[in-house]
Amino acid sequence: MSAIEGGRTTCEAVVRSCLERVAAREPDVRAWSYIDPAQAIAAAQAFDRGGKRGPLGGVPFGAKDIIDTFDMPTEWGTPIHKGRQPERDAACVALSRKAGGVLLGKCVTTEFANLHPGPTRNPHDLDRSPAGSSSGSAAAVADFMVPIAIGTQTTGSTIRPASFCGVVGYRPTYGEHRLHGVMEASGSLDTLGILARSVPDVALYRNVLLGIPPEPMMTLDRPPHIALCRSHIWDQFEPTTRTLVEDAALRLARAGARITEFELPADFARLNDAHRWISSFEFARTFTFEIENHWDEISDTLRGGRLHDGIDGSFERYIASKELAQECRTRFDSLWGDVDALLTPAAFGEATVGDWAFAGVPLFQLWTILHVPQISLPVFKGPAGMPIGAMLIAKRHDDRKLFACAQWAYQKLM
């Protein structure tokens, strides 16, 4: 971005470089559901002729294919909506273009941003999963096809792909970003997500998507207070992952951080089931048209999973789950004391081998349903040399402090 603004290169040169990488790697990685090189180059040339300037300054970006674009199809990862062409941009795309960003293309998502996978493969090992549902967004950034991309998260759909693919993944505080023009999965849980290669890039792009003037990234005036959280799902993480996170806590302590333990109340273990019933109930009603008119075109994975739960789920259980979630959010806000951020794994382990399209075990309902901001940092390698992320979590609306803690931790752990 600074090179474009400083005249050391052009937007067209940057876009052509990205397209060259796409041409070389896309046949294997398959991160894109739509990309038109001529269209991208024309947009870059328009920028160089004096197009809209702004914080993104001609930077190419990708958008998950559940995010509407007026000039590119948005198909939601399903043949039911093949060729679907929106008439306007989603708010997040419009804000990105207003800020000087150049949309390179649409990134592959899983079917309706749920479990049934798309064709994307992990760029570090084509026999492994990129995770879902923001699989294409994470893989495209990880493979240097584009510097930044928009994803979404309803369960773990930004954090887990970031961990598997070895990039920075950010899920913001629920409700801060506008989702107009983004396919709804579960309105009580959906957020945007950002996939990038650095924390400062994420922090800048958050401001763009909020539609606010760029702010310098917050810096800490002291080493942070980071609490290691061994939640009720701790034993479901692979032993290597648990060891890596515990070792990271020790390394951060040696670097000056105050490290403590953070214990969640026992009944927070009920939140994973609450997430299941909230998300499934809402999902099944969101897609009533598809269920009624295209049932046979929906995958067995989706019909037998979330749709089964949602169609058969009771309204009473849905409301009880929402009440539990709200109660736990309020209680969680009061538990932090002077803790700046929690530390926990960003994924159960390395990307799955064998079934490369497998989306990964969903272990992140807890943090998503609590509506807290999360960031995955690519600081670990597993036994096979594949990326594993460390996740930091902050209080609701403490996203800027989260970035400051994340940048401090990243510098100490790398």
- 374-393 pLDDT, tens digit per residue, is 999 999 999 999 999 999 99
Cβ neighbours around 309 below 10 Å, total: 16
**Cβ 110 vs Cβ 133: under 8 Å:** yes
Token couple for 146: 């584009």
Is position 398 within any domain? Answer: no
State the pLDDT confidence band at 354, using cuts at 50, 70 and 90. Answer: low
Cβ contacts of 245 within 8 Å, gap of 6 or more: 228, 237, 343, 344, 345, 390
Residue 79 in any domain: the answer is yes
Tens-place pLDDT, residues 164-174: 999 999 999 99
Helix (H) or strand (E) holding 170: strand 168-171
pLDDT tens for each residue of 247-262: 999 999 999 999 999 9
Q: Provide the percentage of residues in the chain whose pLDDT is more than 70.
A: 96
| Residue 83 backbone zone (phi > 0: left; psi -120 to 50: alpha; other: beta) | left
Tokens representing 386?
A: 């594949």
Which residue is catalytic, options 33, 64, 376, 395?
64
- Any idea what DSSP says for residue 199? H
Residue 319: how many other CB atoms lie within 10 Å? 13
Selected catalytic residue, list 33, 133, 186, 188: 133
pLDDT per residue as tens digits for the range 100-152: 999 999 999 999 999 899 999 999 999 999 998 999 999 999 999 999 999 99
Instruction: Please report whether residue 380 resides in a domain.
Output: no
Residue 36 lies in a domain: yes
For 206, the token pair is: 């958050």
> Catalytic residue at 134?
no
- Residue 188 appears among annotated catalytic residues: no
Range of lowest pLDDT (3-17, 277-291, 347-361, 387-401): 347-361
Per the prediction, the chain carries an average pLDDT of 95
**CATH value at residue 60:** 3.90.1300.10
The answer to whether position 269 is within a domain reads: no
Return the ∠ at Cα 245 (arms to 411 and 162), rounded to 5°: 70
Strand duo 387-393 + 374-381: pairing: antiparallel
Does 59 map to a domain?
A: yes
pTM recorded for the entire structure: 0.97
Helix 11-29 with 37-48: angle, nearest 10 deg: 160
Q: How many domains does the chain have?
A: 1
In the predicted model, is pLDDT for residue 355 greater than 70?
A: no
Domain holding 197, by residue range, is: 2-210
Residue 2 has pLDDT above 70, yes or no: no
The reply to whether 157 belongs to the active site is yes
Tell me the residue ranges of DSSP E strands in 242-401: 258-262, 341-345, 374-381, 387-393
Q: Which of 33, 134, 135, 157 is catalytic?
A: 157
- Residue 357 pLDDT > 50: no
Whether 7 is covered by a domain: the verdict is yes
Q: What is the pLDDT of residue 1?
A: 57
Neighbours of 213 (CB within 10 A): 7
61-73 mean pLDDT: 98
| pLDDT tens-place string over residues 261-281 | 999 999 999 999 999 999 999
Percent of the chain exceeding pLDDT 90 equals 91
Q: Is the pLDDT of residue 359 over 50?
A: no
Sign of CA dihedral 34, 61, 374, 165: positive
Residue 320 belongs to a domain: no
The band of 356, judged by pLDDT with boundaries at 50, 70 and 90, is very low
